[in-house]
Structure 1
Amino acid sequence: MLIWLLDLLRPYKEITTKLSLVHTDDHVADYAPESVAKWKLPAFKVTENHLALARRAWQAYRAETPKPCFDLLMTDLTALPRLRPALIALLEELPDSVTGLGASEMDILEFVNDGHTDPRIVEGARWLRNVFDENDAFDALLELGAHPAPPILLGDPAFDNEDRYFGRSEWKVTLTELGRSIFAREDDMWRHNRIYRWWGGTELTNERLWRWDRESRLLIAP
Structure 2
Amino acid sequence: MLELVAEGETKPGPITSDLYRERGVFDFQEAHLVLDGLAYCRSPVLAGLPAERVVVDNSKAHQERMFSRLSVTDFGQEVLDGELDFSQYNPIHRWWGGTELTNDRLWRWDALGRTLVAP
Q: Name the structure 2 match of 1:63.
A: none
Q: Name the structure 1 match of 2:17.
A: 124
SS in 2 for 1:207: helix
CA distance change for structure 1 residues 159 and 203 in 2, over 3 Å: closer, same or farther?
Answer: closer
Structure with the largest fraction of strand: 2
CA distance change for structure 1 residues 153 and 161 in 2, over 3 Å: closer, same or farther?
Answer: farther
Taking the TM superposition and a 5 Å limit, the aligned residue runs for 1:175-214 are: 175-214=72-111
Matches of 1:172 and 1:146, distance apart in 2: 15
Report the alpha carbon displacement of residue 151 of structure 1 after superposing the two structures with TM. 0.6
Q: Is the 8 A contact 1:117 1:174 kept in 2?
A: yes
Q: Is the 8 A contact 1:165 1:171 kept in 2?
A: no
Deviates more, 1:110-119 or 1:210-219: 210-219
Matches of 1:199 and 1:116, distance apart in 2: 26
Q: What percentage of residue pairs aligned between the two structures are identical?
A: 35
TM-score using structure 1 length: 0.46
Q: Name the structure 2 match of 1:172.
A: 69
CA distance change for structure 1 residues 139 and 155 in 2, over 3 Å: closer, same or farther?
Answer: closer
CA distance change for structure 1 residues 161 and 188 in 2, over 3 Å: closer, same or farther?
Answer: farther
Report the alpha carbon displacement of residue 195 of structure 1 after superposing the two structures with TM. 0.8
Matches of 1:167 and 1:174, distance apart in 2: 18
Code of the residue aligned with 2:79 in structure 1: it is I
CA distance change for structure 1 residues 195 and 208 in 2, over 3 Å: closer, same or farther?
Answer: same
Report the alpha carbon displacement of residue 203 of structure 1 after superposing the two structures with TM. 2.0
Q: Name the structure 1 match of 2:2.
A: 109
- Residue ranges of structure 1 left out of the alignment (5+ in a row): 1-107
Taking the TM superposition and a 5 Å limit, the aligned residue runs for 1:67-106 are: none
Taking the TM superposition and a 5 Å limit, the aligned residue runs for 1:35-54 are: none
Q: Is the 8 A contact 2:39 2:47 kept in 1?
A: yes
**Alignment coverage as a number of residue pairs:** 115
Return the index of the structure with the highest Cα Rg: 1
Matches of 2:106 and 2:53, distance apart in 1: 33
Deviating runs (4+, > 3 A) in structure 1? 158-166
Q: Name the structure 2 match of 1:142.
A: 36
Deviates more, 1:197-206 or 1:114-123: 197-206
Pairwise CA RMSD of aligned residues?
A: 2.3
Report the alpha carbon displacement of residue 168 of structure 1 after superposing the two structures with TM. 4.3
- Residue ranges of structure 2 left out of the alignment (5+ in a row): none
Report the alpha carbon displacement of residue 178 of structure 1 after superposing the two structures with TM. 1.0
Q: Is the 8 A contact 1:113 1:175 kept in 2?
A: yes
TM-score using structure 2 length: 0.79
